Structure 1
Amino acid sequence: MVTQVVALYASNDLAGRAFGILTNGIKACTHAVRKDANGTNSQWSYEVDSATSDVLAWKAIQDGGDGWTCYRHAQVKGVAVLQAVVCEAGDATSATAKIAARFADKVKG
């Protein structure tokens, strides 16, 4: 599964603040419980791989999910905050970074 999202803000400052909130939130939250549309809970562990002033890479690992992991790469680019996600039962760190870079090339910040 691959997902790409972009949020546009009124200014670079607002985009930077939103990215900072995302970064701080991910760093502070090491576990979460998600409930799907059927009411089934799944537990996830979060690990930050790298964080800079404009790029955040982390993974969400499903506890008891037989290796199912969502690799996430977010970055701020001008007035835009974009994120690419690849979920699979393998290591998609490199693929996620490549998708995010290609996505960022198409976003005018």
Structure 2
Amino acid sequence: MTYNLLNYGDDDDRESYYQEIIGEIQPDLIVCQEVVGITGYNHFLDDVLNIVQPNEWSGADFTNQSASQDIALYYKLEHFSFISTAIINTAQSSGTRDVVEWVLEHVESGVQFR
């Protein structure tokens, strides 16, 4: 699943909506756009994902982007193992972002993917 969180930082007003959506869709992996720093990253994991499905979620290593908004990867521990995070430098001007490459392994098949 991919989800633009619209500049999500430490915003309690939207948590119940995110919780309802995640609860209905039941994704195993989520890439989120427009996460505001490590605060938004942790807040979404702790106050959205782990409320809907306690202790089932983890997140890939967080990396601050060159722009003011970041992206984040969350995954269910029963299905995926985290391998690595790498930054591919592509940002050339204000407002553009580098690419984040995550490597995970599918637990059941042992297949690694990016």
TM-score, normalization by structure 1:
0.35
More strand by share: 1
